[in-house]
Amino acid sequence: MARILILGGTGEARALAAALTDVPGVDTVSSLAGRVRDPRMPVGDVRIGGFGGADGLDEWLRAHPVDAIVDATHPFAAQITSNAADAAHRRGIPHVVLRRPEWSARPGERWHRAADLVDAAALLPDLGTRVFLTIGRQGVDAFAGLNALWFLIRAIDPPDVATPPQSTLLLARGPFAVADEITLMREHRIDVLVTKNSGGGQTDAKLDAARTLGVPVLMIRRPPLPSATATVDDVAGAVEWIASVTR
């Protein structure tokens, strides 16, 4: 029986765990960071909580041997991705990153690109005054010093860091409908959307809404993957990769 560690927390990770239940000779354990209070749980064995860095993951792998690792974490979960690549290399375990394709600007969209959250905060005052901030709860403090701007902050759980003084918190989990996103942005008179280039279809309705309303988008680039990292961009590719390394 081949044992696969899925580093999860995304829809792709849950879909992969479900797909592998139909593959003979394959068993999975999914690991969730535990940062969301009420996570959507995958099928199969699940562990919740951090490993304690690359060293902690290495120790966990020593105690719980696996035959392959699929990193299906969020595209902006740079630290666990780095730790997983490091620990997999140390242990000599096959390792792949499952990353959904990035969003690309389409005709009619006005994108401004930021290297990271700090860069986005520096660029934002020149783009608008009423901000729809859709980066999740982590990193909101990068915008806490922008006293002259008003923010609608949408996240699954409340931020546990400093927030901008003029802000309203909206707790919600996607997917979202385009019509609802248009209504939301109109009601709050949004004139700039800030988001991470997460890709996927769970939260892309806000981009359609922004295009419809002529609202500019401040798009935060993904962090780079560790060097020499193998990647697949969908669940089917991950299943094929697992088959290739466990036969």
The tens digit of pLDDT for each residue in 187-228 reads: 999 999 999 999 988 789 999 999 999 999 999 999 999 988
Say yes or no: 209 and 229 in one domain: no
Residue 168: pLDDT band by 50, 70, 90 thresholds?
A: very high
CATH number of domain containing 209:
3.40.50.2000
pTM (whole model) above 0.95:
no
Q: Is residue 180 part of a domain?
A: yes
Say yes or no: 36 and 137 in one domain: no
Is 45 buried (19+), middle (13-18) or exposed (0-12) by CB count in 10 A?
A: middle
Q: State pLDDT tens for residues 19-78.
A: 999 899 999 999 998 777 778 899 999 999 999 999 999 999 999 999 999 999 999 999
- Where do runs of H (alpha helix) occur along 21-101? 53-63, 78-91
Question: Is-contact 123 218, C-beta < 8 A?
Answer: yes
Answer left, alpha or beta for residue 102, where phi above 0 means left and psi between -120 and 50 means alpha.
beta
Say yes or no: 232 and 188 in one domain: no
Say yes or no: 87 and 154 in one domain: no
Say yes or no: 82 and 165 in one domain: no
Fill in the DSSP letter of residue 174.
S
CATH number of domain containing 89:
3.40.50.720
| Tally of domains in the chain | 2
Q: Is residue 13 part of a domain?
A: yes
Say yes or no: 126 and 211 in one domain: yes
Residues 6 or more apart whose Cβ sits within 8 Å of residue 49: 32, 33, 34
Structural domain containing residue 149: 111-220
Fill in the DSSP letter of residue 133.
E
Say yes or no: 24 and 94 in one domain: yes
Q: How far apart are CA 118 and CA 139, in angstroms?
A: 9
Q: Is residue 106 part of a domain?
A: no
Nearest alpha-carbon partner for 80 in 60, 65, 64:
60
Say yes or no: 71 and 147 in one domain: no
Q: Is residue 105 part of a domain?
A: no
Say yes or no: 117 and 203 in one domain: yes
Model pLDDT, residue 181: 98
Q: State pLDDT tens for residues 70-97.
A: 999 999 999 999 999 999 999 999 999 9
Say yes or no: 44 and 12 in one domain: yes
Say yes or no: 123 and 47 in one domain: no
Say yes or no: 75 and 126 in one domain: no
